[in-house]
């Protein structure tokens, strides 16, 4: 059967469609930062929902009052933490900034005595060359200002999402053809449950790791133990990479004191991560999504390469959502293959 010859009109139509597809793809790529801000707002709304849930289910408060209680409680926790520990953390953070250069010089002197000083200096020079943009104070100030503006946008966006979740959920489902809305609603519910359970687990892990790090460094005698414990707690949100980054300044400060202190500090971080990974994590995440480690590692790398620091921070929760959506929409629905979903089965 002969193919119908391409007319001038058909060619123009296909060309316009191709240009439109490319244009939409470029638009989505340029708006990738906006998508991350939206997802960050979703995370904030999920956290608010976690805190507000007991007020709705146990105390019988209406959703608006429960949300107001959640916002006030989280604000009180943050303000109370600053009131109790803010001055000490600020003092230790300032001291930490002053101690790091001296600690590096002391570490370099010890490495020189061991014949490793030149290699360490070359490594440090490479880091300084790669971080030239960070040395620019003006660019750093702009970056911090933009980050604070984005943070406020994410917080208020999360409050609005938490205030009327059904409104936005219904609007999103209306974009799906009618025959697929029930499946889409079920998939959104499964991914939301997984994200909530994952966030609960991370919050528990962050608190435990921060406290153990603070206590352990205080016993070893490392300076600014409280600030380093807070840093370890915050960076625990980023799997794999966060704990390594948090260990570097602590080990460097300990190394300035003595190699033995640095060894004990390294062993402390290793022991805490082993406890978190082998004891705490299975307990807090036993009903949540269990991401394959290799998948999570490559997701972190991809998030950092595509979206930068923000992508690295949000890569893990975004992977949780995508992982559950693939299991529900593709594995269960398209392939008709049984696979457990977090919150509905014993294992995720």
Give 9-52 pLDDT, tens digit per residue: 776 777 777 788 788 778 777 877 888 888 989 999 998 988 88
- The CA distance from 88 to 83, in Å, is 10
Whether the model clears a pTM of 0.85, i.e. scores above it, the answer is: no
Domain chopping of the chain, boundaries: 33-334
Two tokens at 48? 């608010």
Give 84-133 pLDDT, tens digit per residue: 665 556 665 565 565 566 565 666 666 565 555 555 555 555 544 444 43
- The CA distance from 102 to 99, in Å, is 5
Mean pLDDT value of segment 174-200: 88
Residue entry with tokens 């153990």: 212
Burial of 105 by CB count in 10 Å (0-12 exposed, 13-18 middle, 19+ buried)? exposed
- The CA distance from 161 to 150, in Å, is 16
Crossing angle, helix 63-81 and helix 32-57, to 10 degrees? 110
CB 237 within 8 A of CB 206: yes
């Amino acid at each position: 059967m002969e193919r119908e010859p391409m007319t001038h009109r058909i060619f123009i139509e296909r060309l316009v469609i191709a240009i439109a597809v490319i244009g939409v793809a470029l638009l989505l790529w340029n708006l990738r930062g906006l998508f991350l801000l939206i997802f960050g707002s979703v995370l904030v709304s999920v956290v608010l929902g976690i805190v507000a849930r007991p007020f709705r289910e146990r105390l019988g408060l209406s959703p608006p009052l429960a949300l107001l209680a959640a916002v006030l409680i989280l604000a009180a926790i943050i303000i109370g933490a600053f009131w109790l520990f803010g001055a000490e953390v600020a003092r230790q953070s300032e001291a930490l900034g002053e101690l790091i250069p001296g600690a590096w010089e002391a570490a370099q002197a010890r490495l020189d005595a061991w014949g490793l000083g030149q290699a360490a200096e070359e490594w440090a020079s490479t880091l300084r060359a790669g971080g030239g943009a960070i040395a620019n104070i003006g660019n750093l100030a702009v970056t911090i200002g933009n980050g604070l503006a984005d943070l406020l946008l994410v917080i208020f966006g999360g409050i609005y999402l938490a205030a009327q979740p059904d409104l936005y959920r219904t609007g999103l489902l209306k974009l799906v053809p009618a025959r697929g809305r029930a499946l889409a609603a079920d998939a959104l519910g499964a991914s939301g449950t997984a994200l909530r359970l994952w966030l609960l687990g991370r919050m528990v892990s962050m608190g435990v790791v921060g406290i153990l790090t603070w206590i352990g460094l205080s016993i070893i005698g490392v300076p600014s133990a409280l600030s380093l414990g807070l840093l370890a707690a915050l960076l625990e949100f980023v799997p794999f990479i966060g704990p390594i980054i948090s260990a570097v300044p602590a080990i460097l400060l300990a190394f300035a004191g003595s190699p033995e202190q640095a060894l004990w500090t390294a062993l402390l971080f290793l022991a805490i991560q082993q406890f978190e990974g082998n004891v705490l994590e299975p307990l807090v995440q036993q009903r949540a999504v269990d991401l394959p480690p290799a998948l999570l590692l490559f997701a972190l790398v991809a998030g950092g390469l595509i979206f930068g620091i923000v992508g690295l921070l949000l890569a893990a929760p975004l992977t949780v959502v995508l992982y559950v959506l693939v299991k529900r929409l593709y594995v269960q629905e398209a392939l008709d293959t049984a696979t457990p979903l977090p919150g509905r089965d014993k294992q995720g």
